[in-house]
Structure 1
Amino acid sequence: MLLPKQFHFLFILFFFVLGLYAQDEEKTVPINKVINDIEKLHQVSFNYLEGDIAGLQLTPPKKTLSLDQKLHYLAKKTNLSFENIGNKFINIYKNKTEAQILCGYIYSAADRKPIEDANIILNSKIQITTDSKGYFEFKKENTNTLLISHIGFTAKKISADNQDSKSCLQIVLEPEITELKEIKANSILASGISKNTDGAFEIKPKKFGILPGLIEPDALQAMQQIPGVNSIDESVSSINVRGGTHDQNLFLWNGIRMYQTGHFFGLISVFNPNLAHTISIYKNGSSAFFGESVSSVVAISSTPETLEKNSFSAGINMINADVYGKYNLSKKSFIEISARKSITDFAETLTYKEYFDKVFQNTTITDFAKNQNVDYQSDKKFGFYDATFKYAQKIGNKDQIILDLITIQDKLKVFQSATANNIYKSENNTLRQQNYGGNLSWKRNWNSFNTTKINIYNSAYALLGNQNNSVGNQIVIQENTVNNNGVNLENQHIISSKFSLSDGYQFNEMGITNLEQVTNPDFYRKVKDVLRTHALIAEGKYRDTIARIYFKAGTRINYIEKFKKYIVEPRIQFSYGINKNLNLEILGELKSQNSQQIIDLQKDYFGIEKRRWIVSNNTTIPIQKSKQISFSLFYKKNDWLLDIENFYKKVNGITTASQGFQNQLEFIRTTGDYEILGTEILIQKKLNHFLTWLSYTFNNNNYHFVNYEFSSFPNNFELTHTLSWAVTYEKNNFKIALGTKWSSGRPKTSPDISKIDLSDPVIVYNRPNNTNLHIFSQVNLSSTYKWETANGIQYKVGLSILNILNRKNEISEYYRISSLTNSIEEVETFALQRTPNMSFRISL
């Protein structure tokens, strides 16, 4: 039996031995457990390679030691080095290889937060990305040049040859001032056409693929392939976006508003297709910096995003010839010139004849001796040209100045004569349409977060008609001129990597003059109106790519001096990625417009370009105001694309004179609105080198004129159903496209035969737009081929055929009293017949 003293001794000895055993066990603790304990206790984070610490065990340092003491202890116990960065990050690497390790952290200059998934390329061959802490690590080489990039930040190139191997690089990236637009989908309808997160369609002509009937990237022809965009009379001077008239669209070329958009009175775009770098098309949800429009916005920029090499090209087709040249004056400046002219002075091609017949049918040019058995003679001369000039100069690293100039002109001269009943009759007609514009812009990057841009611009438009009739010795002169001047100021502020703010001020002065002068009997009228508008703009944008949220909201406050009137125009764009394949989008806007085009008489300006610009008087010619909202679902997966958009749009303040009526409303002057509810669907599939798409548009578009006996009836520009299909094939340098477009006929008003006295005919109409024209259907084809010689010269040939089946499509119909037979006659206007075109281009 043990004595108490012996028991106590054995008891103490037992726990002493147990304590020694426990200490022996602590010496074999894996190092990653020690690291985890230090991370929890000192709130730090270790970075290391698993292979460097594999199998290491040691006795943990005392908990009472400081962080640096513990790191020093660990360094002594292991063959490792411990680098402490700001008591937040600790890098572990082997001593024997520390000279071979190159590591670093990448932060945002905006908020000093780590940048995850930044791309780092070492010596143009090894590429890795940063982790959630912004950390990266390389094995050093003989030379160590790093190229660091990330979306939304300016790329940086650094040399790390002399970098201390015991410390990591601390790299800061500046936010990118030039806003990088997020692309929702590339190759919408064709390569070179994309849809952005803000809802805009964007066309890059230099990357443009091919569309049916087009052999050149004509901006205004291409946009008519977008669901919801049509031309009711097959003209780029009459583009209808969601039921609106052409003048309700805002067309901007480098910040200059263009009042003339078509050559050949609407069959060819005035914008040189070989010049534009980016074309943005907004059907809804446009930026608050766009004003003076109640329908779409088409913004064309010919300024390249980067300095490009010198280039020259020249081309010709069966309508016009053009040249383009760009020359870099220095590393910071360049000039760009383009010019285009019709070839009708030298040749009248089959294409020209088809265009001529289409444009001048049912005008005074072709109606001069209609239905008369007389010796009729006509001498017609038509031509057009356009030219542009750009000068860009960077000053230092912060400033850039750009000067843009554009000139456009169409001119028609017609001499007609006939002898009937021994009376000699002749007319000498001249019609000229032109648009000149200039814009001077200055842009300054104050720092990485703030930039300012100022534009000073002018746009001058003129439509001039001169008619000399030998019968009665009468001269008729008509003129419509627009002079538009303005200043735009825009500031952009980057608040954080997700949020930015823009603000600005715009001043606009618009002067419009209308002149009518007639001799025998003498009549003279000249009216000039001027409106000055001030606008304050504020707009904020939030973009979270991880949460897949894009939100942009802004407002525009207009003040019209003459009417002492304020108009507030809020805009909104919201996009949410439900998942990586499905996206929800909501767009909305309120907009206003102070000018519009009207028709006084259908025979004004010889019935060719009979619309003339006027400004609002805030009474009989109201300020037009629109409101629009749209909801869409966008799905993309496995080269399938589905876009479904539903919208509601209403425009108040329209006049009957602006809608082109040729029925009982032609001479009635009243105001009202139109309201449209519609759906637009696009289905697209890409398969290897093939791309095919099908689009469908439904519109329910109605006028409301409360002061007219029929207060509600279908809109003149309603196409209830529109269906388009196309298939394109692109491989290497060969491209071909085939497509068709089908639409229900536009509304027309028929006469009420039961109420007409045929002995003394006066047209009595049924309810306005009580019926429709026949269905419109057209099949188009186009193809291009490009090749390059050994010395770098590129050649391109193209062929297109519009209306391959030569279908006779009626695009308008109205009724009039014939002065020859004193009876009611039906007048029909038709679209282009089968029309081929060929092109050839050379580029250096």
Structure 2
Amino acid sequence: MFIPKRFYFLCFTFFLVLNLFSQDNQTVVPFKKIIIEIEQQHQVSFNYTENNIVGLQLVPPKKSLSLEQKLVYLERKTNLHFENIENQYINIYKKENKSQIVCGYVFAADNMPIENANIHLADTTLIATDSKGYFEFNKRDKNIFSVSHIGFITQKIESDNLDTKNCLKILLEPEITQLDEIKANAILASGISKNKDGSFEIKPKKFGILPGLIEPDALQTMQQIPGVNSIDESVSSINVRGGTHDQNLFLWNGIRMFQTGHFFGLISVFNPNLAHTISIYKNGSSAFYGESVSSVVAISSTPETTEKNTFSAGINMINADVYAKYNLSKKSYIEISARKSITDYVETPTYKEYFDKIFQNTTISDFSLNQNIDYQSKKEFDFYDATLKYVQKIGLRDQIVMDLITIKDNLEVFQSATSNDLAKSENNILRQKNYGGNLSWKRNWNSSNITKINIYNSSYELFANQKMTSGNLNVIQGNTVDNNGINLENDHVISSKFSFNEGYQFNEIGVTNLEEVSNPDFYRKIKDVLRTHALILEGKYNDTISRLYFKVGTRINYIQEFKKYSVEPRIQFGYGINKTLNLELLGEMKSQNSQQIIYLQKDYFGIEKRRWIVSDNNTVPIQRSKQISLNLFYKQNDWLLDIENFYKKVTGITTSSQGFQNQLEFIRTTGDYEVLGTEILIQKKIKQFLTWLSYTYNDNKYDFSNYEYPIFPNNFELIHTLSWAGMYEKNNFKIALGTKFTSGKPKTTPASFDINPYNPVVTYNNPNNSNLNSFFQVNFSSTYKWETTNGILFKLGISILNILNKKNEINKYYRISSLTNSIEEVETYSLERTPNMSFRVSF
């Protein structure tokens, strides 16, 4: 048979290649190169001494083998022993020397390895740990040594029978050194402090007591801070240095919250028994915070230290709640909280006072006032909120955290009346809810480099349905917000004094507004979406010796739809003039692409009138702010004096976002406002007694250049605010009494009370030409806790708002009465005397 020469050539080449491949597989290589390849392939680290592997060469194991199979192969081929620790660290010893070696790893409390920790042996020998925190030394008759490092408590280890088969794991506790820096351990109350960056920090679990509060409600507590007010006693209308509520950024574990109040603003949606840290920035916020032109309120429910399993349950005259934390393992835990109103079952005096305040001068109260015969009403109101947190540590460097939150308010009011044999009824349904989720990952690459990534989503809905028998009318209104994004942050510690951060953020917000009316038929649904990219750079210098603190950063925004860039610098500067006096300079430029506006004052029955919209870069411009403040802080002999002067300007506001109820209510124009102010706090502590007095001055003016009277007082201007509180805490008993005085907010009066019967309209004076009467309130609260022998803790609290039952005006406007065809004065008042009581059990 004829076989072509080409076939022989191919066969020869094939076997030659196989032979070459086989020879290559059997080639010996340096041992060090083998373990480097294994480290890269299996993400492990080898620990060894050079003397044990010097000159060693062998054929490498097959790459397809598992890590354990490779170690078995290497141990069989060498005189070495391989100790695998959690598939992360592998120690290499000579077999005959293994029993003569003591080895170990040194970690911080967060399981991060400590490099260059000093191992002091009894014979004065000094050994340092490597980058993995590893050390080893020859076993001695008496194995006594100490482990030390700067910033940690030295640990002494003494044992004659140390286990040499397994490496030690040594945890060093951080050493807390009291430095002579100017920081108030308690400002306003226990659990509230002021940081170097100018922010206020609240620790609810360490919270003492404040007048009128029996629980550490984040949004009620922040109103005690000078410069923070609520023009209508609502946590849904918090005004920081003259700004509107929507100009504040509220974050819960990185999730932006669009609903902040239950009961339409009288109760915070953030469970006070859950939060671990609340940070409040009035100025000089980090460049990592965007989408606000006023304050930042960042709430974190992740504890700073490991906590034991806990459970608590409580009830007050509005709601009941439960909280539980359970450690699933040494590296994971789950945390759950839930809170629900009790108004479904009982109408307490507190609930009645809240209800009367909320429904003043709304379409619901208007219906009852106009029906004098056979009037009937059925009201159903409830709310709830719930949170879930899951934390999982992976190895020594990684941590994953998942946060979920859900908030919901429901109101249904059915009213009917019969007059002159004519039946009339209304059924009003109002629903408000906010859902959010966040998934974050943190990686500690080493002691000086940390990466954080989080993905979040927040969904908000406000829905109303009004059905009226008269005219067979059905009205539906809706406002929804979908907000999602991703944040990336890298933290670098360059030295003990200097650190540097950089990051990237992507944010997408979509807002939908719906209006549907029957008879006549009308339907409108509009959705707008904005996508923003941001690059963040930030550096911090902190020298406790020279008492110098300096932090500077910038945020570069790019709005995709407008193809528009903006640069927002931030600065924090603090200098300790001496041990008792500190000077602080804060400044920032910020922007905001979304805002709340009011289409009509009777939207959503006049209860929740505001709806979210996004900027169109035209009639609804991007809001921008710039602010600078200078602060002088003095603390000595339990005296504290804090004086801060500031200037703030916000541009791009619209008249529809300011809640006008005068001639500007139906005028659509844009403008800005400027605030010049001073905030003063004086505090003194005498043993268990703490008292403080605060004063705030604000000169807050609008400038609507396209309006005939462009400059006039801001709707949220409170020229003078004066607060005092006295608190006594001893052992488990706490009591607080406080007062608050504010000058009245601006109002616009009619130029004449005579109207044209053929064209009944109100003719006004210049906008905000007058002011309401001053506001004065006295509040009281007290708590007492006790613990049983088996470790169960009980807490009882009592509070009274407006003890003197003073009738305070919080709003006044004018309208044409449909009954008398004349000008009618409409007044809204604050809460009357309102008691509350709480009881809580924890174990």
Indicate whether the TM-score tops 0.5: yes
Q: Deviations over 1:268-309 (max 9, x none)?
A: 000000000000000000000000000000000000011100
Q: TM-score, normalised by structure 2?
A: 0.81
Deviation for aligned residue 1:147: 6.9
Counterpart mapping for 1:547-626 below 5 A:
547-626=546-625
Q: 1:173 to 1:538 in 2, by over 3 A?
A: farther
Residue 799 in structure 1 maps to residue 801 in structure 2: no
Aligned partners of 1:437, 1:791: CA distance in 2, in Å? 38
Q: 1:714 to 1:181 in 2, by over 3 A?
A: farther
Give the conservation status (yes or no) of the 8 Å contact 1:817–1:825: yes
> Is there any run of 5+ residues in structure 2 with no aligned partner, and where?
1-111, 123-141, 161-169
Aligned partners of 1:658, 1:146: CA distance in 2, in Å? 65
Aligned partners of 1:467, 1:506: CA distance in 2, in Å? 41
Aligned partners of 1:653, 1:679: CA distance in 2, in Å? 24
Deviation for aligned residue 1:314: 0.1
Residue 829 in structure 1 maps to residue 816 in structure 2: no
- What's the counterpart of residue 355 of structure 1? 354
Give the conservation status (yes or no) of the 8 Å contact 1:175–1:497: no
> What amino acid maps onto 2:194 in structure 1?
K
Counterpart mapping for 1:41-56 below 5 A:
none
- What's the counterpart of residue 697 of structure 1? 696
- What's the counterpart of residue 159 of structure 1? 157
Q: Deviations over 1:544-564 (max 9, x none)?
A: 000000000000000000000
Give the conservation status (yes or no) of the 8 Å contact 1:174–1:448: no
> What amino acid maps onto 2:731 in structure 1?
N
> What amino acid maps onto 2:261 in structure 1?
G
Counterpart mapping for 1:659-678 below 5 A:
659-678=658-677
Of 812-821 and 335-344, deviating more is 812-821
> Is there any run of 5+ residues in structure 1 with no aligned partner, and where?
1-109, 123-141, 163-170
Give the conservation status (yes or no) of the 8 Å contact 2:182–2:581: no
Counterpart mapping for 1:60-459 below 5 A:
146=146, 148=148, 153=151, 157=155, 159=157, 184-459=183-458
> What amino acid maps onto 1:472 in structure 2?
G
Q: Deviations over 1:502-557 (max 9, x none)?
A: 00000000000000000000000000000000000000000000000000000000
Aligned partners of 2:409, 2:440: CA distance in 1, in Å? 28
Deviation for aligned residue 1:756: 3.7
Aligned partners of 2:149, 2:373: CA distance in 1, in Å? 77
SS state at 2:352 partner? helix
Aligned partners of 1:839, 1:638: CA distance in 2, in Å? 36
- What's the counterpart of residue 107 of structure 2? none
The percent identity for this pair of structures is: 77
Give the conservation status (yes or no) of the 8 Å contact 1:814–1:828: yes
- What's the counterpart of residue 24 of structure 2? none
- What's the counterpart of residue 127 of structure 1? none
Q: 1:147 to 1:239 in 2, by over 3 A?
A: farther
Deviation for aligned residue 1:422: 2.7
CA RMSD of aligned residues (A): 2.4
Aligned partners of 1:628, 1:161: CA distance in 2, in Å? 61
Counterpart mapping for 1:386-785 below 5 A:
386-753=385-752, 756-757=755-756, 761-785=760-784
Aligned partners of 2:526, 2:153: CA distance in 1, in Å? 57
SS state at 1:214 partner? coil
Q: Deviations over 1:159-181 (max 9, x none)?
A: 3779xxxxxxxx999999xxx99
- What's the counterpart of residue 816 of structure 2? 817
Deviation for aligned residue 1:364: 1.0
Aligned partners of 1:670, 1:149: CA distance in 2, in Å? 63
SS state at 2:367 partner? coil
Q: Deviations over 1:312-335 (max 9, x none)?
A: 000000000000000000011000
Deviation for aligned residue 1:149: 6.6
Aligned partners of 2:304, 2:534: CA distance in 1, in Å? 28
SS state at 2:763 partner? coil
- What's the counterpart of residue 49 of structure 2? none
Q: Deviations over 1:427-457 (max 9, x none)?
A: 1110000000000000000011100000000
Of 363-372 and 298-307, deviating more is 363-372
Aligned partners of 2:681, 2:757: CA distance in 1, in Å? 50
Aligned partners of 1:683, 1:434: CA distance in 2, in Å? 40
Deviation for aligned residue 1:758: 6.4
Q: TM-score, normalised by structure 1?
A: 0.80
> What amino acid maps onto 1:658 in structure 2?
S
Give the conservation status (yes or no) of the 8 Å contact 1:182–1:196: no
Aligned partners of 2:767, 2:755: CA distance in 1, in Å? 17
Aligned partners of 1:301, 1:475: CA distance in 2, in Å? 43
SS state at 2:364 partner? coil
Aligned partners of 1:219, 1:565: CA distance in 2, in Å? 36
Deviation for aligned residue 1:757: 3.8
Aligned partners of 2:171, 2:364: CA distance in 1, in Å? 69
Q: Deviations over 1:621-657 (max 9, x none)?
A: 0000000000010000000000000000000000000
**Aligned pair count?**
699
SS state at 2:355 partner? helix
Deviation for aligned residue 1:392: 0.1
Q: 1:518 to 1:301 in 2, by over 3 A?
A: same
Q: Deviations over 1:801-843 (max 9, x none)?
A: 0000000000000011111111110000000000000000000
Residue 843 in structure 1 maps to residue 842 in structure 2: yes
Give the conservation status (yes or no) of the 8 Å contact 1:456–1:488: yes
Deviation for aligned residue 1:182: 8.0
Deviation for aligned residue 1:157: 3.7
Aligned partners of 2:146, 2:732: CA distance in 1, in Å? 36
Aligned partners of 2:383, 2:485: CA distance in 1, in Å? 28
Deviation for aligned residue 1:746: 0.2
Q: Deviations over 1:237-262 (max 9, x none)?
A: 00000000000000000000000000
> What amino acid maps onto 2:592 in structure 1?
Q
Deviation for aligned residue 1:373: 2.7
> What amino acid maps onto 1:344 in structure 2?
T
Of 412-421 and 282-291, deviating more is 412-421
Give the conservation status (yes or no) of the 8 Å contact 1:183–1:196: no
Aligned partners of 1:622, 1:181: CA distance in 2, in Å? 47
Q: 1:488 to 1:308 in 2, by over 3 A?
A: same
Aligned partners of 1:831, 1:518: CA distance in 2, in Å? 34
- What's the counterpart of residue 6 of structure 2? none
Q: Deviations over 1:177-203 (max 9, x none)?
A: xxx998721110000000000000000
Q: 1:185 to 1:762 in 2, by over 3 A?
A: same
Aligned partners of 2:758, 2:737: CA distance in 1, in Å? 52
Give the conservation status (yes or no) of the 8 Å contact 2:371–2:417: no
Aligned partners of 1:238, 1:492: CA distance in 2, in Å? 35
Deviation for aligned residue 1:113: 13
Of 772-781 and 755-764, deviating more is 755-764
Aligned partners of 2:279, 2:631: CA distance in 1, in Å? 19
> What amino acid maps onto 1:439 in structure 2?
N
Q: 1:304 to 1:175 in 2, by over 3 A?
A: closer
Of 456-465 and 370-379, deviating more is 370-379
Give the conservation status (yes or no) of the 8 Å contact 2:753–2:823: no
Aligned partners of 1:744, 1:198: CA distance in 2, in Å? 31
Deviation for aligned residue 1:660: 0.2
Give the conservation status (yes or no) of the 8 Å contact 1:183–1:195: no
SS state at 1:224 partner? helix
Aligned partners of 2:592, 2:348: CA distance in 1, in Å? 41
Give the conservation status (yes or no) of the 8 Å contact 1:194–1:203: yes
Q: Deviations over 1:66-93 (max 9, x none)?
A: xxxxxxxxxxxxxxxxxxxxxxxxxxxx
